[in-house]
Chains A and B, each alone.
Chain A
Amino acid sequence: MIAEPFNYDAPSTLDEAFAMLEAHGDEAKILAGGHSLIPMMKLRFSSPTHLIDINRIPGLAYIKEEDGYLKIGAMTREVDLEDSDLIARKYHIFKDATHLIADPQVRNFGTIGGNLAHGDAANDHPAVMLALGAEVEISSKEGKRTVPIDEFFFGFYTTAVQPGEILTEIRIPAASGKYGSAYYKVERKAGDYAAAGVAAMVQLDGNGNCVKAGIGLTNVNPLPMRASRSEEALVGNQPTDDLIELAARYASEDCNPSEDLRGDEEYKRHLVKVITKRMLKLAIERAQNA
């Protein structure tokens, strides 16, 4: 478990980092928390010749509400999401999700930006971001651009982040009113990737009707997947048990899981259905109590 030889740089500003990215092109990889990249390098699945460690660049880790958004700096550690009062009060889904990400050692290092930029449908944050309708800020020496989460994931390990760019911020429409969210995944043991995972967000009006719904699925599709048909079924309606059942069934029908050691297609579709139902119920309950 020893990586191939590589060079290591630790810039102290984003501008320095952009210059290094430019110098090394696609031979370079950004090192954030390192808990996906380093194991891949140690197994020699990935062999970048340059690592650009952005851990020493100040100002990239924060959790705040501002301008109608929840803004999370890309270098925010999972453990900080776990410990944040703001998150605990209004965005339960992060508590749910971070608690299920790997183990405390990993969460002490792993970052939310890295989790997204790794571009792996097995990671947990992509589904959470889909459910919450996030957008992602990507920076380069040319400036900043914003990409909606639905346009962020391109393929296996590839995202909208281009050579020369760094993911710097995640923006989520701020929670208000009767807003609730929840996440759960079935895993074989603590620290495993999901056999299937479901992120759910709902916004209810005064009558208890669903005015907004977001459902993201983990590891049951080549790309992180939005369960659009389920969302559409919910919006504008009372989320009755029957409707939740229907939304859950749509999600299980629309996903595209593949067989691996965690289970076959049938089992994973079954899990998507059960978890979607449970997470919608939990999100609704939280919205009602918000």
Chain B
Amino acid sequence: MTETETGTAPTGTPPTGIAPRTGSGARVELAGIVKTYGDVRAVDDVSLTVEPGQFLTLLGASGSGKTTLLRIIAGFVEADGGRVVLDGRDISQVPVHRREIGMVFQNYALFPHLSVAANVAFPLEMRRVRRRDRAALVERALEAVQLAGYGRRSPKELSGGQQQRVALARAIVARPPLLLMDEPLGALDRRLREAMQIEIRRLSRELGLTVINVTHDQEEALTMSDRIALLAGGRLVQYGTPEELYGLPNSEVTARFLGESNLFRGPVRHEGSEAVLALPHGRILVPGDARGEGEAVVVVRPSAIRIRPAGTGPSRPAVSEMPGVVSADIYAGDSRKVLVAGADGAELVVRCESGAPLPCAVGDEVVLEWDADSCHIIPGAA
């Protein structure tokens, strides 16, 4: 399941005057990481590679092993098996304090008895940076997180967002090749979280940092990451770009975890030149590139579906169809969410533009239709 990427490090659009610092981030390789607690396999044979400067998100529900994996990379937890390789060097046995990693914690974990400046200076002090160089570096790091002049304050006087910026400054001040983030935005409210997402992304690009971020928030994963590693039950389910995970999920787990989706499972049957899913109701075309026999799952995103009243013909040829009854119509600002009870009892989700009038009302019989090429098949899904 490991996918080794060799693409160029994404740089975004660097602000004027700063060349993208590709090459200052580390290449991180995880090989066969295993960690068991008692009978539980918290991390089960995870292997993946992060290229220098990439922003990787470890995504998963709680208990998926993402935090354990991060703590293994940081060195707080010793893996039972496998290697953590940083720039070609196996650091599995290097103690935490010599890994030269930056880390941001969920609850900020600032040193409460030290000033903001002393907090940020701490990694420099530990790395034996000369005292007179420290002040300037601290000030620059604080500038970078837009907290210039806050050095003499106590962390307790700062707001949650400001504390997280201090934590970020502390994590990057010594320019570690790798920045780890353990749900760093979990404690912030939504608006602040979105602002911080953008800022962290900008900062990591400018510094060319390799970042490994842990979150259970799929939206955060999709907006921030160059790569997403989806974990479930300790296993790496899928690893790829956000587009790949969203558009081409390789499993039901991925499809369900990233965005809303409608899943149809059944045996694939060939009808002439077409392949369809053999279901008692409706007619679901399997996209042309999948020609395998046996069980398959078809993933249809809610926004790909159109609704038409029952008894009318398809709006265009070669569409998949599924009958149902509208059970709810939920207005959600820029879109509306329509829930339809399918003929087989499953609830289907449809997203329509909120501006367009709906051709039906709650309780109406309708037919859902979508183009064959706007859905995705997970072949051989057991």
Question: Do A and B form a real pair?
Answer: no
